[in-house]
């Protein structure tokens, strides 16, 4: 595409840049000239506007002075100080710098002549007349009329001044309009010429480039542009043709690469989907054969296997077991028996050949093997091997988690049985032993008629032992329920209400552990210590009020306080450890790793205090708690 502009060759080669530069400079000069003229005219118009405003204020002051003189005359006095102040304001406005600048700018103009007339009339006539009124008396009606006539004539001179200033201002603005119109006309002419040249030198070649670009966007990479000259657009056309050639070459290989990447992404999506479903199945059912069979079917489908199976070693010394398979039993085990299992245990690397071997293990233990059967002559690609290795690791972690969960359940069951056995031995077993002794005594007395009178006290002791055993059994049931529910707050409240009802007294309970967290075993001991202390208080203290507090502090220490206002302990017995169940509370405090203090309160009654360390302390928790209820009958 060739341009038809009749320009010299050097200009033609740089036509676009030169054209834009000349056009921009011309428009800039025209604009600068217009703006300069505008700024000058606007500045002078601003000065004229200020002068017009000052001249207008002269008219207002001139009309106000006779009005004030008339008002003062009606009051029977000459011109007041207020009138003199207005005369002073008129004098200052008459000498205002804005008027002086306007007169100096055009001393022969009509408004300058009017100003000099106003100035002379004021100095020679009106000002002396107004100043004379301040010393004279009140004016008569005729005097006021003459004064107003003189002022009206003077105001007409001021009006002439204002009209002259306004005419001068309008003349300047009209000149500004003409200047701007000329600048706009020149700008329009230059812009039209520049646009015409740009259309020939730029727009038509760009249209060809855009059309070629649209054809390339539509898939036609064989298109080329004809404008390949030495100017800027010509160089762009040359570069465009080179780009189109390169795109034509690249596009030939693009579809092949896209197909390869698409296939790779599909494989990755299938692998991720397989791993997701496998992890989900193993998480929910780590020991279910159905989960492993579904996972093996997925890996056979994705990796193109002939079959696969999972072989798990038992925890005891025994033969390995196939828990899931897609092609039957292990062929090596069928052929070689137990020797094949021994070889699998000793070899921890993936096998080669048609039957591959991947160990199932976590960081600590080896659990079995994942065996894969390949079609004859086939092998695993890198992505397939990575997928199988990842799957074998997740199966190993699932098996490890299942075995650890089983061990944790066994340990929890063993701990629970130990707690039950210890509680039965410490409480109910001793009560039953005591009843056994009483039953033996009763048997001896019952066989001797002469000792029949001794049977009554034995029966009374036996009944008391049965009641005590029943009470201890109920307390054990409460403790075992605590181990299931973990609701220490509710169970302490039940104990406070229960013993408050028994002893017909008021028991206030305060539970505020804050950041301290108790283990289930600690909660059992805390509940039993509180119940034992309340039981002793109900049976021996004769109290009317009691307080139970379980408090924790920021250091992780928990304190138990049981106080009453009863009779107190009195003189200590010879064996204080077995008095009022104190030995049981001491044993439980020792089990908590804490200390127990039992003594009288200064204000009367008994206080039982235990302090021990909590199982753990919450980090960054808000230290606080709740104050529980008051239990009464």
pLDDT tens, 168-208? 777 777 777 777 788 788 888 888 887 777 777 677 777 77
538: number of Cβ within 10 Å: 22
Q: Averaged over 369-394, what is the pLDDT?
A: 80
Q: What is the structure's pLDDT at 508? A: 93
Q: What is the structure's pLDDT at 546? A: 93
Backbone angles phi, psi at 313, to 5 degrees: -80, 135
User: Which of 137-146, 386-395, 433-442, 610-619 is modeled with the greatest confidence?
Assistant: 610-619
Q: Could you tell me if residue 58 is inside a domain?
A: yes
For 414, 477, 582, the CA distances from 470, given in Å and listed in that order, are 26, 11, 20
- pLDDT class of 339 with cuts at 50, 70, 90: low
Query: Which of 184, 202, 229 is at the close of a domain?
Result: 184
| Lowest-confidence region among 207-216, 402-411, 490-499, 514-523 | 402-411
3-state secondary structure of 55: helix
84, 132 in Cβ contact below 8 A? no
- pLDDT class of 629 with cuts at 50, 70, 90: very low
Residue recorded with tokens 């054990």: 476
278, 298 in Cβ contact below 8 A? yes
- Spatial separation of the C-alpha atoms in residues 520 and 298, rounded to whole Å: 45
Tokens of 548: 């139970």
Handedness of CA 251, 256, 262, 265 (dihedral sign): negative
CATH number at residue 560: 3.30.565.10
| Lowest-confidence region among 74-83, 103-112, 425-434 | 425-434
Q: What is the structure's pLDDT at 42? A: 66
- pLDDT class of 41 with cuts at 50, 70, 90: low
Tokens of 433: 């032993």
Looking at the fold, whether 277 and 153 belong to one and the same domain comes out as no
- Spatial separation of the C-alpha atoms in residues 367 and 399, rounded to whole Å: 7
Look at residues 562, 587, 608 and name the one whose alpha carbon lies nearest to residue 423: 587
Q: pTM of the predicted model, to two decimals?
A: 0.38
Print the domain residue range for 335.
267-399
Q: What is the structure's pLDDT at 352? A: 45
Q: Could you tell me if residue 382 is inside a domain?
A: yes
Looking at the fold, whether 179 and 39 belong to one and the same domain comes out as yes
pLDDT at 550 over 90: yes
pLDDT at 236 over 70: yes
In percent, how much of the chain has pLDDT > 90?
Answer: 5
- pLDDT class of 4 with cuts at 50, 70, 90: very low
Q: Averaged over 517-524, what is the pLDDT?
A: 83
pLDDT at 523 over 70: yes
Q: Could you tell me if residue 371 is inside a domain?
A: yes
Q: Could you tell me if residue 415 is inside a domain?
A: no
Q: Averaged over 66-83, what is the pLDDT?
A: 73
Looking at the fold, whether 175 and 290 belong to one and the same domain comes out as no
Secondary structure, 3-state, 251-280: HHHHHHHHHHHHHHHHHHHHHHHHHHHHHH
Q: What is the structure's pLDDT at 625? A: 44
Looking at the fold, whether 174 and 290 belong to one and the same domain comes out as no
Which pLDDT tens digit goes with each residue over 441-465?
777 777 677 676 777 777 777 777 7
Q: Averaged over 223-232, what is the pLDDT?
A: 74
- Spatial separation of the C-alpha atoms in residues 607 and 630, rounded to whole Å: 18
Looking at the fold, whether 375 and 509 belong to one and the same domain comes out as no
Looking at the fold, whether 271 and 154 belong to one and the same domain comes out as no
69, 144 in Cβ contact below 8 A? yes
Q: Averaged over 131-141, what is the pLDDT?
A: 68
CATH number at residue 272: 3.30.450.40
Q: What is the structure's pLDDT at 264? A: 81
Q: Averaged over 255-273, what is the pLDDT?
A: 81
Q: Averaged over 519-528, what is the pLDDT?
A: 83
Q: Which residues contact 408 (CB under 8 A, 6 or more apart)?
A: none
Helix 204-217 vs helix 232-284: crossing angle, to nearest 10: 30
3-state secondary structure of 371: strand
- Spatial separation of the C-alpha atoms in residues 183 and 187, rounded to whole Å: 6
In percent, how much of the chain has pLDDT > 70?
Answer: 78
Q: Could you tell me if residue 13 is inside a domain?
A: no
Looking at the fold, whether 493 and 622 belong to one and the same domain comes out as yes
pLDDT at 31 over 80: no
Half-sphere exposure of 484 (CA within 13 A, CB side): 7
Looking at the fold, whether 375 and 491 belong to one and the same domain comes out as no
pLDDT at 560 over 90: yes
Burial degree of 308 (CB within 10 A; 0-12, 13-18, 19+): buried
- Spatial separation of the C-alpha atoms in residues 329 and 25, rounded to whole Å: 93
Q: Could you tell me if residue 446 is inside a domain?
A: no
138, 92 in Cβ contact below 8 A? no
Handedness of CA 181, 182, 183, 186 (dihedral sign): positive
Mean pLDDT of the chain: 76
Query: Which of 169, 184, 199 is at the close of a domain?
Result: 184
Looking at the fold, whether 392 and 294 belong to one and the same domain comes out as yes
Looking at the fold, whether 179 and 316 belong to one and the same domain comes out as no
In 274-316, DSSP assigns E strands to 307-312
Q: Could you tell me if residue 60 is inside a domain?
A: yes
CATH number at residue 140: 1.20.120.960
Backbone angles phi, psi at 229, to 5 degrees: -75, -160
126, 149 in Cβ contact below 8 A? no
Q: What is the structure's pLDDT at 2? A: 43
User: Which of 10-14, 430-434, 495-499, 578-582 is modeled with the greatest confidence?
Assistant: 495-499
Q: What is the structure's pLDDT at 332? A: 67
- pLDDT class of 226 with cuts at 50, 70, 90: confident
pLDDT at 40 over 90: no
- Spatial separation of the C-alpha atoms in residues 534 and 507, rounded to whole Å: 9
Q: What is the structure's pLDDT at 596? A: 92
Q: Which residues contact 170 (CB under 8 A, 6 or more apart)?
A: none
- pLDDT class of 421 with cuts at 50, 70, 90: low
Q: Could you tell me if residue 208 is inside a domain?
A: no
| Stronger pLDDT, 124 or 631, i.e. the higher one | 124
Residue 472 CA, chain-centre distance (Å), reads: 54
State how many domains the chain has. 3
Q: Averaged over 491-518, what is the pLDDT?
A: 88
| Stronger pLDDT, 96 or 478, i.e. the higher one | 96
Q: Averaged over 514-534, what is the pLDDT?
A: 86
pLDDT at 138 over 80: no
Looking at the fold, whether 163 and 299 belong to one and the same domain comes out as no
| Start-to-end C-alpha separation, the chain | 111
Looking at the fold, whether 154 and 287 belong to one and the same domain comes out as no
pLDDT at 218 over 50: yes
Q: What is the structure's pLDDT at 128? A: 78
Q: What is the structure's pLDDT at 547? A: 93
Q: What is the structure's pLDDT at 479? A: 60
| Stronger pLDDT, 329 or 15, i.e. the higher one | 329
Query: Which of 122, 153, 184 is at the close of a domain?
Result: 184
| Stronger pLDDT, 632 or 121, i.e. the higher one | 121
């Amino acid at each position: 595409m060739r341009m038809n502009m009749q320009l010299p060759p050097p200009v033609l080669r740089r036509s676009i840049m030169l054209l834009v530069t000349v056009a921009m400079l011309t428009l800039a000069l025209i604009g600068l000239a217009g703006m300069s003229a505008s700024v000058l005219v606007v500045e002078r118009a601003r000065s004229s506007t200020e002068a017009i405003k000052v001249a207008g204020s002269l008219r207002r002051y001139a009309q106000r002075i006779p009005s004030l003189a008339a008002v003062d005359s009606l009051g029977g006095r000459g011109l007041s100080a207020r009138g003199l102040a207005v005369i002073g304001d008129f004098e200052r406005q008459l000498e205002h710098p804005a008027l002086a600048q306007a007169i100096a700018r055009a001393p022969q103009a009509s408004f300058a002549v009017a100003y000099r007339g106003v100035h002379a009339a004021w100095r020679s006539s009106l000002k002396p007349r107004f100043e004379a009124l301040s010393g004279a008396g009140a004016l008569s009606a005729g005097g006021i009329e003459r004064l107003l006539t003189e002022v009206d004539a003077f105001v007409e001179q001021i009006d002439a001044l204002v009209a002259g200033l306004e005419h001068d201002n309008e003349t300047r603005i009209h000149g500004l309009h003409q200047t701007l119109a000329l600048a706009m006309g020149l700008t329009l002419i230059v812009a039209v010429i520049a646009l015409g040249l740009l259309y020939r030198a730029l727009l038509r070649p760009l249209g060809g480039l855009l059309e070629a670009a649209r054809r390339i966007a539509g898939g036609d990479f064989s298109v080329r542009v004809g404008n390949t000259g030495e100017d800027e657009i010509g160089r762009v056309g040359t570069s465009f043709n080179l780009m189109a050639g390169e795109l034509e070459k690249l596009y030939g290989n693009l579809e092949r690469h896209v197909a390869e990447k698409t296939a790779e992404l599909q494989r990755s999506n299938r692998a991720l989907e397989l791993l997701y479903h496998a992890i989900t199945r193993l998480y929910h059912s780590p020991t279910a054969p159905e989960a492993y069979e579904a996972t093996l079917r997925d890996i056979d489908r994705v990796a193109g296997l002939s079959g696969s199976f999972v072989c798990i070693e038992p925890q005891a010394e025994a033969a390995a077991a196939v828990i899931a398979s897609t092609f039957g039993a292990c062929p090596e085990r069928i052929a070689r028996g137990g020797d094949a299992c021994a070889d699998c245990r000793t070899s921890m690397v993936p096998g080669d050949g048609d039957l591959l071997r991947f160990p199932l293990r976590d960081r600590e233990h080896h659990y079995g093997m994942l065996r894969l059967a390949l079609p004859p002559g086939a092998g695993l690609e890198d992505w397939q091997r990575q997928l199988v290795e990842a799957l074998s690791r997740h199966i190993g972690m699932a098996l490890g988690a299942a075995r650890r969960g089983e061990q944790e359940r066994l340990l929890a069951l063993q701990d629970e049985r130990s707690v039950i056995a210890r509680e039965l031995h410490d409480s109910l077993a001793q009560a039953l032993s005591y009843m056994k002794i009483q039953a033996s005594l009763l048997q001896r007395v019952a066989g001797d008629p002469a000792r029949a009178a001794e049977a009554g006290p034995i029966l009374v002791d036996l009944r008391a032992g049965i009641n005590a055993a029943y009470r201890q059994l109920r307390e054990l049931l409460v403790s075992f329920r605590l181990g299931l529910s973990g609701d220490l707050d509710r169970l302490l409240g039940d104990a406070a209400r229960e013993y408050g009802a028994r002893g017909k007294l008021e028991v206030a309970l305060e539970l505020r552990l804050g950041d301290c967290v108790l283990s289930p075993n600690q909660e059992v001991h805390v509940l039993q210590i509180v119940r034992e202390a309340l039981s002793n208080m109900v049976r021996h203290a004769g109290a009317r009020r009691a307080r139970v507090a379980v408090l924790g502090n920021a250091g992780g220490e928990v304190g138990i306080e049981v106080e009453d206002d009863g009779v107190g302990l009195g003189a200590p017995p010879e064996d204080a450890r077995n008095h009022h169940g104190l030995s049981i509370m001491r044993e439980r405090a020792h089990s908590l790793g804490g200390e127990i203090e039992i003594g009288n309160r200064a204000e009367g009654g008994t206080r039982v205090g235990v302090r021990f360390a909590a199982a753990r302390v919450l980090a960054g928790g808000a230290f606080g708690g709740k104050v529980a209820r008051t239990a009464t009958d």
